Amino acid sequence: MIVLTACCFYPKWQKTATEATISWDVSGYYLYLPAALIYGDLKQAAFFDKIEEEYNPGPGMGQRVKQPNGNVVMKYSSGQALQFLPWFAMAHWVAPRLGYPADGFSWPYQVAISWGSFLIAALGLWFLRRILLFYFSDGAVAATLIAVTFGTNYLNYTAIDGAMTHNWVFTLYALLTYSTIRYYRQPGWGWAALIGLWVGWATLTRPTEAISVLIPLLWGLQGLRYWRVQLGFLWKHKMHLLLAGAIAAAVVGIQLGYWKWASGHWLVYSYEEQGFSWLKPHVSDVLFSTKAGWLIYSPMMALTFVGFWWLLRQRPTIFWPVLLFCGVFLYVTSAWDIWWYGGSLGQRAMVQSYPLWAFALAAFFQQMTRSAWSYWIWLPVAGLCVYLSLWWTYQAHEGGLFYPEQMTKRFMLKTVGRYKLERDWLKFLDTKDEFKGKERVDLQTIVKKDFEQDSSAAVVRENAITGARSLRLNREQQFGEVLNEKRGTASWDDSRRWIRATCTFRCEPKEWDFWKMTQFIVRFTEGDKIVKERMIRLQRHVDGNEVKTIFFDTKLPDKPYDQMKIFFWNADGEKTVFIDDVLIETFN
């Protein structure tokens, strides 16, 4: 089903530019291979400028970080590149024989990495089944596999974005958990060595996965009061621990050696200004935010919080290791300052931990099948979760109702479950306020501006929308003011609680980067403090250079304010926009 989704719905290896398999973050993880094995330029990676020009895999991602010695280091660590290596090697052998350039980014490389990702996903699911069958019935395990694959964002990060690290580290966690279970059942050198390999490789792929060491260290813990027993077991097998630690350190040492060779330092923080807020983790945002909340876009995983109770009842010997690891993983994920993790469908950083969360999910399904009433109550809930997850996956790639990094509660409530967008809903990606009354009363016009008598530098005769003049914003002229008045001196009555701001505009050409779209802003301040601000991005509402009239409503703030300002800002964009016929009204 994963392969069918990839082939029939969204064959990513057939896409180009930033939608190709090797693009954005993937290109950053992958860059080690062409740099070292094709171009022999691992210290400068100067070839990438040409690759960006030809393939456009995601300019501006900062895959290379300049060092004081003049060299560069890759932003991302090398573990994912090592996992890509067999598939890269096959593509590199095939590419010239099929008439494609052996440059690391042509079509054979895209195909090889995509299909390698599918095989890794199959391996991960197979081992997930193996580890769950140690503790749960085959029916509960089957339900868990279906729930994880189709009821969460795991489907997206295997079938479509499978070349990102999450799918691959998911499999490493499944392998680590399987090796850990086998080790605790029959301690031996072989399983200890594999544990060290999986911990080291996961850490080499994503440094935060160093917490994977908690799985083998905690697995035998039958309760918090049994920590002495657990320490006794680990001490008894300390030589196995030393072997695992040595192998893990050797694997992680690959990255340390690369940093020393390229920069002259054993440790390099290549994420620059990005970091963690350990004392103020964004837990509520990570779980519930409409921007990228885990349980919003993977609602199936909410069942794990019920499942932990049943896991304690059914399998108390693994409850504490699983709970403690999942808790630490959620904390580390939430502590990252960019908690939405870029253009993430839900919390993509949670995907790799699903082999551990799956224990709670399996306990839930096992309990559900034990009584008819709970089965018929929870089965429709699980089915709805699957439907929503599939719907989100569709909207993220074809439907167009999912906007990465931009989703808001108001927009989601307008669109969830639908398949057709009403253009007017797009304003709710920017503003929270919505007037829901049947009609406006006590209507009063406070500004009506057609710019015909305005002689400021931003107002031009060239290409006017209506009449002889329009306001023009571009790279040089970033702001256009409509109203700036102190409270009490304005012409409106505070008894009117709403403001409607309307304008007509045209783009030449349209700005597609939403960060640089022209903003139409209503702002309330008290002194230098912004009390409330609402705005819309104009270019969201057009497809090209057509003329469009748009409005948005803002409710007056309940908190004290002493000034209101209404203005346009071109958001540091370089594209030109013409604005005319501005109308500001108050009403109830």
Rounded to whole angstroms, the Cα distance separating 320 from 312 reads 8
Say if residue 14 is exposed, middle or buried (CB neighbours under 10 Å; 0-12, 13-18, 19+): middle
Q: Which of 584, 569, 567, 576 is nearest to 464 (CA)?
A: 576
Torsion of CA 192, 197, 202, 204, to 10 degrees: 140
Per mean pLDDT, which range of 129-138, 144-153, 289-298, 375-384 is the poorest? 375-384
Which domains does the chain show, CATH number per domain?
2-392 (no CATH), 444-587 (2.60.120.260)
Confidence band, pLDDT 50/70/90 cuts, at residue 496: confident
Tell me which residue of 219, 185, 222 sits closest to 199, measured CA to CA: 219
198-to-144, 169, 194, 454 alpha-carbon distances in Å: 24, 9, 6, 69
Weakest-pLDDT range from 57-66, 125-134, 425-434, 529-538: 57-66
How many Cα atoms within 13 Å fall on the side-chain side of residue 90?
11
C-beta of residue 527 within 8 angstroms of C-beta of residue 562: yes
336 - beta bridge partners?
276
Q: What gap in Å lies between CA 73 and CA 45, rounded to an integer?
A: 9
Instruction: Judge whether residue 61 has pLDDT over 60.
Output: no
Distance CA 515, CA 537 (A): 9
Q: What is the pLDDT of residue 225?
A: 87
Read off the pLDDT of each residue in 39-50 and give the average, rounded to a whole number.
Answer: 93
pLDDT band (50, 70, 90) for residue 490: low
Return the DSSP state at 397.
Answer: I
Q: Are the C-beta atoms of 90 and 43 separated by less than 8 Å?
A: no
Q: Tens of pLDDT along 304-339?
A: 999 999 999 999 999 999 999 999 999 999 999 999
As given in the structure block, the two tokens for residue 265 are: 């330092």
pLDDT for 436-478, tens place per residue? Answer: 999 999 999 999 999 999 988 899 998 999 999 999 999 999 9
Q: Which token pair is 531? A: 């009390």
Whole-number Å distance between alpha carbons of 400 and 402: 6
**Mean pLDDT along residues 181-187:** 97
Q: How far apart are CA 209 and CA 169, in angstroms?
A: 9
pLDDT at residue 493, as a whole number: 67
Least confident residue range of 97-101, 181-185, 368-372: 368-372
Q: Residue 223: pLDDT band by 50, 70, 90 thresholds?
A: confident
Q: End-to-end CA distance of the chain: give it in Å, rounded.
A: 53
Q: What pLDDT shows up at residue 272?
A: 86
Between 264 and 61, the more confident residue is 264
Is residue 27 within 8 A of residue 47, CB to CB? The reply is no
Q: Which two tokens stand for residue 341?
A: 């993790």
Q: Strand, coil or helix: what is 537?
A: strand
pTM comes to 0.94
Res. 71 pLDDT band, cuts 50 70 90: very high
pLDDT for 50 beyond 60: yes
Q: Is 56 left (phi over 0), alpha (psi -120 to 50) or beta?
A: left
Write the burial class of residue 209 (CB in 10 Å: 0-12 exposed, 13-18 middle, 19+ buried).
Answer: buried
